[in-house]
Amino acid sequence: MLSANVIGQETKALNDTVIKENKEIIESVKNTEGPVFKHSLGDLNIKLDESGERYLKFGLNSQVWLRSTENNPGTLVNGVEQKYTYDAGLRRMRVTMQAQLSPAYQIYVQLGINNQSFIAGGGSGTGANGQGKKPAIFFMDAYNELAIIPQKDFKTKQENNFNIYLGAGLHGFNGISRMSNASTGKILMADLPIFNYPNIENSDQFARQLGVFVRGEYDKFNYRFAINKPFATNLQPNIGQTVDNNQSGKLSYSGYVMYNFFDKESGSTAFLPGFYLGTKKVINIGAGFYSSKDGALSQSEEGLFKSHDHSVLSADFFVDLPIGSKSKEMAINVYSVFYRYNFGPNYLRNLGIMNPGILDVNYTGTVAMEGVGNGRNLLGTGNLWFTQAGFLLPKFSETVKLQPFAAYTLKDLEGLNEMGSYFDVGANLFVLSQSAKISYQYSSRPLYDPADRKQFDRKGEHILMFQLSF
């Protein structure tokens, strides 16, 4: 048996070794370029060969909302009149898998749920299968992709200045704008403005359509183009109304091209991040389009129907740059985009994210054009201009960063007689990485009178979001 003295000596030696190793780890962290904070939580990777060219990569995205909503006039929530509604919800819950089966071939899938609240997003009725309960998990992305000309030559391993990839399936290579290809795990604000997805849940499935796409790079250009079969719509318009109706079954065509002035961004998936927190030097400009023949239907007078094309054009500008002293680790982020929508005469669409309300049929006041709950005029034929900006404050912690932000939207829509201004302000609190954050946002929206189609009121909404994404 070992003596107590020998055991004590071995324990001391082990402790000294652990302390030494910990010091080495700390020193290596200090000597890395920038703090640990700058790095994302990383990927869950499983290598399928020693080279690492064949692998499985998994990702998770969880966004939980706590919210206070100032409801539009005439709102009932669960059968009770409510001017304000307080709730919690699962805005996004996603699981992704990227399978690089060979250097030339990959499969990408994403599944999960969206927009589950106490009253919406699940079943219908009451009790165990009541409203909001047990939402069905569905695929948001499911596509195959083949490298025609790979980014890195299979044999020489040299970078190709021009590369092209061909894919098919349910995908989010939407064209139009950077924000139409947004990574929802890395958005500047608590949420996207949503009008960046012109067909959201009408002729697409949560911003995806079925079809084929090509994507790739040429020097500092990044491009993506797609030909899709839109999901079927068959709404019937009232007199003087234009609605989504693509019963003639035409295809859709979309594309987006951006130019990288400084650091090049990855295009290996459909999704582009909304920020880099100064870890890259990025200035990009881009332009895109979406088009589908006979995507809308109007009724100008009783029994007189006419089909109209869906058309969207856009141009945008994105900046994410470190500024000031390197030791302060500050950064600015600016994104601005202009959309020109043409979905037929006076086309107008309203939407409220996780809308808690229904109409009180006994309400005698003015019911807004936007409807009830948190409904807003989302998009329509006309012009939309959106700008957001964020500023990463000087370093005050090794593990925490603070980024105030603000956004402004101007909507000039044919179906309204007055332009509308929308405001958002808030801040992101990043913890340990870019992917773990707590966001607060206040949003102010105008409401329109259906009689004169002009503004008569404004309402607001507070969102507190907890996010973990990698």
Domain ranges of the chain: 43-469
The H-or-E segment that residue 25 falls in is: helix 4-30
Pull the structure tokens for residue 161: 């200045």
Domain spanning 43-469: which CATH class is it, in words? mainly beta
Q: How far apart are CA 205 and CA 124, in angstroms?
A: 20
Pull the structure tokens for residue 131: 């409203």
Q: Over the Cα atoms of the chain, what is R_g?
A: 25
The residues with which 77 forms a beta bridge, in sequence order, are 80
The set of residues, in sequence order, having a beta carbon less than 8 Å from that of 195 and lying 6+ positions away, is 339, 378, 379, 384, 386
Q: Determine the distance from the C-alpha atom of residue 218 to the mean position of all C-alpha atoms in its chain, rounded to a whole number.
A: 26
Give the C-alpha distances (Å, rounded to integers) separating 417 from 72, 249, 254, 412, 414: 20, 33, 30, 9, 7
Considering the entire predicted model, what is its pTM? 0.90
Q: Determine the distance from the C-alpha atom of residue 72 to the mean position of all C-alpha atoms in its chain, rounded to a whole number.
A: 25
The residues with which 81 forms a beta bridge, in sequence order, are 76
Q: How far apart are CA 100 and CA 2, in angstroms?
A: 54
Cα–Cα–Cα angle for 362, 365, 369, rounded to 5 degrees: 100
Q: How far apart are CA 233 and CA 340, in angstroms?
A: 22
**Predicted local distance difference test score (pLDDT) of residue 154:** 85
The set of residues, in sequence order, having a beta carbon less than 8 Å from that of 235 and lying 6+ positions away, is 243, 244, 245, 297
Q: How far apart are CA 402 and CA 394, in angstroms?
A: 8
**Predicted local distance difference test score (pLDDT) of residue 212:** 98
The set of residues, in sequence order, having a beta carbon less than 8 Å from that of 251 and lying 6+ positions away, is 211, 227, 228, 229, 230, 292, 293
Contact of 81 with 75, CB cutoff 8 Å: yes
The H-or-E segment that residue 139 falls in is: strand 138-149
**Predicted local distance difference test score (pLDDT) of residue 42:** 60
**Predicted local distance difference test score (pLDDT) of residue 16:** 53
Per-residue pLDDT of the chain (470 residues; tens, 9 = 90+): 444 454 455 445 544 544 444 444 334 433 333 444 444 556 688 988 888 788 999 999 999 999 999 999 999 999 999 999 999 999 999 999 999 988 899 999 999 999 999 999 988 777 777 888 999 999 999 999 999 999 988 888 899 999 999 999 999 999 999 999 999 999 999 999 999 999 999 999 999 999 999 999 999 999 999 999 999 999 999 999 999 999 999 999 999 999 999 999 988 899 999 999 999 999 999 999 999 999 999 999 999 999 999 999 999 999 999 999 999 999 999 999 999 999 999 999 999 999 999 999 999 999 999 999 999 999 999 999 999 999 999 999 989 999 999 999 999 999 999 999 999 999 999 998 788 999 999 999 999 999 999 999 999 999 999 999 88
**Predicted local distance difference test score (pLDDT) of residue 206:** 95
Q: How far apart are CA 59 and CA 134, in angstroms?
A: 22
**Predicted local distance difference test score (pLDDT) of residue 52:** 79
Q: How far apart are CA 214 and CA 148, in angstroms?
A: 10
